[in-house]
Structure 1
Amino acid sequence: MADVQDYKQETRYETFSYLPTLSSDAVRKQIQFMVNQGWNPAVEHVEPSRSFNHFWYMWKLPMFGEQNVDRILAELEACRREYPNHLIRLIGYDNYSQSQGLSFVVYRGGR
């Protein structure tokens, strides 16, 4: 049993949180994938203490039809500047299935 490692208790928010932190290039590639799928990006944020018990706040309206990755990144950064201690996630809404096609936390407030 000595070779069994302890599980480090850390809050997990989505699939990517089990991987090493995404680099800015990896985030850009995920956003490009979302745009290529035709999904509508939306930015949400919330205080870390409220992340599991409450709905997340929407940052502006979803960016319907936005195809420019730099504009999406600029909105993520604007939200981060406004709420530096919040968790900030990007969601890709799929019009066809009327559901989320992609959702991941981009910034983990205060880190």
Structure 2
Amino acid sequence: MRITQGCFSFLPDLTDEQIRAQVEYCLGRDWAVGVEWTYDPHPRNTYWEMWGNPMFDLKDAKGVMMELEECRKAHPQAYIRFNAFDSIRGFETVTMSFIVNRPEVEPDIRTIRTEVQGRSMHYTHELQR
């Protein structure tokens, strides 16, 4: 099962050259880029681990790509994503987010629907490895 979260998730995985182009797009708009990683891609797991701090003053995509490479070395079987932050409103808002690394084998996430009182439905997700 392919995890589909963030921009570009329905496309084939981006190459490093394509990732660099997206980072240059973000930096060209003065957005800061942050790197996050997780081994648990559950849809409700929105708090991934940060890899260092967001790179607020960076002007060159090479620095972001170096951080990605270090994160890949430390966590080769993790999901890694980039978040681009826009501070135009005076606080950091995630403007763009996309996955840049996936494990070789992705887990299956099954949705379980349960009917409850009346016409209500409850949904739960089960992670299968």
TM-score tier (shorter): 0.7 to 0.9
The runs of 5 or more residues in structure 1 that have no matched partner are 1-8
Match of 1:107 in 2: 101
Instruction: Report runs of 4+ in structure 1 exceeding 6 Å deviation.
Output: none
What is the identity, as a one-letter code, of the residue corresponding to 1:108? R
Normalised to the residue count of structure 2, the TM-score between the two structures is: 0.72
Out of 63, 68, 72, the residue aligned to residue 76 of structure 1 is: 68
State whether residues 43 and 88 of structure 1, in contact with CA within 8 Å, keep that contact through their aligned partners in structure 2.
yes
Higher gyration radius (CA): 2
**Partners of 1:89 and 1:50 in 2: CA distance:** 11
Normalised to the residue count of structure 1, the TM-score between the two structures is: 0.83
Q: 2:76 matched to 1:65?
A: no
**Percent same amino acid at aligned positions?**
28
Q: 2:80 matched to 1:88?
A: yes
What is the identity, as a one-letter code, of the residue corresponding to 2:82? L
Against the structure 1 CA distance between its residues 73 and 53, is the aligned structure 2 distance closer, same or farther, given a 3 Å change threshold?
Answer: same
**Partners of 1:73 and 1:56 in 2: CA distance:** 19
> Which structure shows the bigger proportion of residues in strand conformation?
2
Matches within 5 A, 1:1-111: 10-47=2-39, 49-54=40-45, 55-97=47-89, 98-110=92-104
Higher relative contact order (Cα pairs below 8 Å, separated by 6+ residues): 1
Tell me the matched-pair count.
Answer: 102
**Partners of 1:107 and 1:89 in 2: CA distance:** 7
State whether residues 80 and 101 of structure 2, in contact with CA within 8 Å, keep that contact through their aligned partners in structure 1.
yes
